Amino acid sequence: MGLHTLCLLDIQSDKNRFMSANEGLRILLEIEERRKENVLSEDTKVVVLARAGSLKPKIVYGRIGDLLDYDFGPPLHSIIIPGKLHFMEEEALKYLCENVP
């Protein structure tokens, strides 16, 4: 449908366990491998938002394959899978985010 998808990652605060964006991206690729629905691949571009609302947030834009081993720093992490982007949205992501080739 061309819509954006926000993935809020698992939090187990009682165990001090927070899913990283790296884990979330790997899980999404594993699900795609099992289901073969052609929803995403290592070439799919995503936005990872780390520590939203904090004094030191980080926003990274790049291909899943390039972000699997990227260091996003401490939690909390979220993943945004953009839908169909207008060229102005694409330019804004390139300007506002840390870009990983």
Distance, CA of 81 to CA of 10 (rounded, Å): 17
pLDDT tens for each residue of 63-99: 999 999 999 999 999 999 999 999 999 999 989 998 8
Q: Which of 58, 60, 83 has its CA nearest to residue 6?
A: 83
Report how many domains make up the chain. 1
Q: Which residue bears the tokens 């939090």?
A: 11
The CATH number assigned to the domain holding 12 equals 3.30.950.10
Domain span at residue 77 reads 5-100
Compute CA distances 100 → 2, 37, 59, 69, 97, whole Å: 23, 26, 11, 11, 9
Task: Find out whether 48 and 86 touch, Cβ atoms under 8 Å.
Answer: no
pTM, entire model: 0.92
